[in-house]
Every structure is written in C-alpha cells, then in structure tokens.
C-alpha cells in the first residue's frame, strides 16, 4: 500500500476541484454550462495561499529572506491569512497592515498563526493619506512600503501588487489545473481583479492553450467604490476598480492584454449571488466570488453564449464573513443597494 503523507502545509496548496453548478444554473435560468473553480479547498480556504507560497519561495530563492526574518504585507485579509500560515510553517515572523472594514474573523485567524495585525487606523499619518487618495489601495501599499522599509530595513515587504511571483504561480498552477480538469473544453473564463495576478496568470495560460477563449475581468460598480460623496460604501472585499483609472492606480500585475471585457458588479449583487449559491449548492463563498457569479449570469444570458462552458474562479470560502451581512438572509440584498452603476460592461478594443 502506497503511503501518502505530506511533510508540510505547503504541499497541500493547489489542485482545487471544479464543480458544475447545476442547481444554481437551473434556479437562475442560466443556459450555459457553469463550472466553478473552488479555491476554498486550499488549506486556508483561499486562492491567496498560492501567491503566499510563491512569493515567499521566490524570496528564498533570491536570497532576500532567511528563517527568523520578518515578512510584511498589506491586504484585505486573505493574502494575510495565507502568508501568516506559511510564514509560521517556514519559521518566519509576519506582520500585516489591514483595512479596518474587513471582517473580524480575518484578523483573528491571522493572529492565531502568531502574526502581528496592524489596522490602518492605528498607523500615524496613514488615514489622512488614504482618505486623500480616495481609498486607493495601490497608493496605500506604496506608502506603507516606503514608510516601513525606511524605518525597518530588516523587514521584507512582499508587495503582492507588483511581485512577479504572484501571476507566475497562476500561470504555473491554476491555469494548467483548469485546462486539465476541464479536458481543455471551456469557452469563457471569469475572475475578479484584486491584485490582478489571478486573472492575468490564469488567463494568460488558458489563452496560450485556446487563443479563442474569452477572458472577463470583474471589478466593483460605481456605487461600491469610495467617492467624495460616499467615502465608505459597502465594498466587495479585495476587489478593486481599474477601469478608467490613472496608471498609478492600476496594479502592475494586471496584464490588460489578457482580458477581453470588464464587467462591473455592485456589492448588493455580489451578496445576492453568494447567498443563492449557498442555498442552491451548499457552498459558502466570499463576496468577491458572488461578484464573479453575478457577472457570469449576465454573460450567460447573451444569446451567443447559450450552451457554452463558462469557468468562474471562486476565490475563497465564506466562513470568514459570518460576522458581516453577507449571509444575513433576513436582510434582502437589494436593501444594501447604495447606488447603481452607470455602466456595467465595457468591451476592450
């Protein structure tokens, strides 16, 4: 009998399953073959386990870190969880700078791994800068990296937004897994954009195999983005706007040559889809996954897409959102609607 015992949590990352969302598709009257890549089956229930391992091992290969060093990142939660777990398994210290609005479970999980959690509101001068930048995550990361590196040269900021190890791991693992498990039969791939690494790396690999594949990026709608009139809207966790943004507000890891279309989704729409998936398939996912599902419904409704296979990447599980309103079924998702997006889809020339 063959013995199969893993030596480290790092060996358990990836090879997540594909699931046909038959009941969800039926209930939503989707006339396409809707397949989900369930990243919640990673050890820490998120696609970010992949980049956490990739970035740390790249730094090890480059000789920029050694056991006992302190690793640092800023994140909306899942990258921090993945990094905290892998840092613990490899013997590194870890510190995360995290937005105050993320669910309390995320901070608690990171701290459970022995990591230090620093909320944005506790950082001297940061709130004023963040507010002035209108909640620009890219600018916030650069500001923190400069401040931390200048004050503590012994720490290593991993910089997920422009770290090439981020999209590289998806081109090396996520894309090939989808291609293998789907038998190379898919017509459309949809993923949300946070750092841009998942969409860019996965989409790049899949298009190399199937040049006719359509890749669709999902971003938050106008009503779910910070603005002067609404500086703190209910946002989709970890998903950032990149359409019609100045170059400095776009993550370096987002390769605009990979995607063919952008669909904007409002937070209430993401909540509605995530709730319906839980009720129809028994699968809990986060609000970014809900956004991807909502986008898939719009794409599947187009007559030219009837009968096509749509693969959606569902980035994380929903268990770390239980203290939010995501699964508060007694509160109609529509009641969370703050504003309507003026434009919901933009074709890429």
Rg of the chain in Å (alpha carbons):
19
Active site residue 347: no
Instruction: Please tell me the distance from the alpha carbon of residue 275 to that of residue 134, in angstroms, as a whole number.
Output: 30
Which residue among 37, 48, 90, 207 is the active-site one? Answer: 48
Q: Which two three-digit tokens encode residue 3? A: 């013995």
Instruction: Report whether 225 contacts 241 (CB < 8 A).
Output: yes
Active site residue 103: no
Nearest to 53 by CA among 77, 8, 83, 81: 83
Please provide the distance, in angstroms rounded to a whole number, between the alpha carbons at the two ends of the chain: 56
Instruction: Report whether 122 contacts 104 (CB < 8 A).
Output: no
Name the maximum alpha-carbon separation found in the chain.
65
Q: Residue 145 CA to chain centroid, in angstroms?
A: 21
Q: Which two three-digit tokens encode residue 57? A: 């091992």
Which residue among 200, 224, 288, 320 is the active-site one? Answer: 288
Q: Which residues, in sequence order, are CB contacts of 39 under 8 Å at separation 6+?
A: 16, 45, 46, 47, 313, 314, 315, 316
Nearest to 235 by CA among 193, 199, 287: 287
Instruction: Please tell me the distance from the alpha carbon of residue 130 to that of residue 132, in angstroms, as a whole number.
Output: 5
**Which active-site residues does the annotation give?**
48, 288
């Amino acid at each position: 009998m063959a013995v199969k015992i893993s030596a480290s949590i790092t060996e358990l990352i990836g090879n997540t399953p594909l699931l046909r969302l038959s009941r969800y598709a039926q209930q939503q009257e989707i006339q396409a073959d809707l397949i989900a890549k369930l990243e919640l089956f990673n050890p820490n229930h998120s696609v970010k386990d992949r980049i956490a391992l990739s970035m740390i091992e790249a730094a090890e290969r480059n000789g920029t870190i050694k056991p006992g060093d302190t690793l640092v990142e800023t994140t909306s939660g899942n990258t921090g969880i993945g990094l905290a777990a892998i840092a613990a398994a490899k013997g590194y210290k870890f510190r995360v700078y995290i937005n105050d609005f993320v669910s309390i479970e995320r901070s608690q999980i990171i701290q459970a791994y022995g990591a230090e959690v620093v909320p944005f509101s506790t950082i001297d001068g940061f709130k004023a800068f963040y507010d002035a930048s209108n909640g620009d995550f890219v600018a916030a990361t650069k500001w923190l990296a400069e401040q931390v590196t200048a004050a503590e040269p012994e720490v290593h900021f991993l910089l997920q937004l422009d770290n090439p190890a981020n999209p590289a791991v998806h081109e090396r693992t996520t894309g090939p897994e989808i291609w293998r498990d789907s038998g190379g039969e898919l017509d459309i791939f949809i993923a949300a954009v946070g750092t841009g690494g998942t969409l860019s790396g996965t989409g790049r690999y899949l298009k190399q195999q199937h040049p006719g594949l359509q890749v669709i990026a999902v971003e938050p709608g106008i009503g779910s983005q910070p603005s002067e009139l609404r500086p703190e809207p209910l946002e989709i966790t970890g998903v950032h706007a990149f359409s019609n943004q100045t170059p400095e507000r776009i993550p370096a890891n987002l390769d605009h040559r990979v995607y063919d279309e952008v669909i904007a989704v409002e937070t209430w729409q993401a909540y509605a889809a995530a709730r319906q998936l839980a009720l129809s398939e028994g699968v809990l996912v986060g609000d970014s996954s809900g956004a991807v599902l909502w986008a898939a419904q719009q794409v599947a409704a187009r007559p030219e897409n009837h009968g096509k296979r749509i693969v959606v990447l569902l980035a994380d599980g929903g268990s770390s959102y239980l203290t939010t309103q995501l699964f508060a079924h007694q509160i109609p998702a529509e009641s969370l609607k703050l504003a309507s997006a003026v434009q919901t889809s933009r074709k890429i020339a």
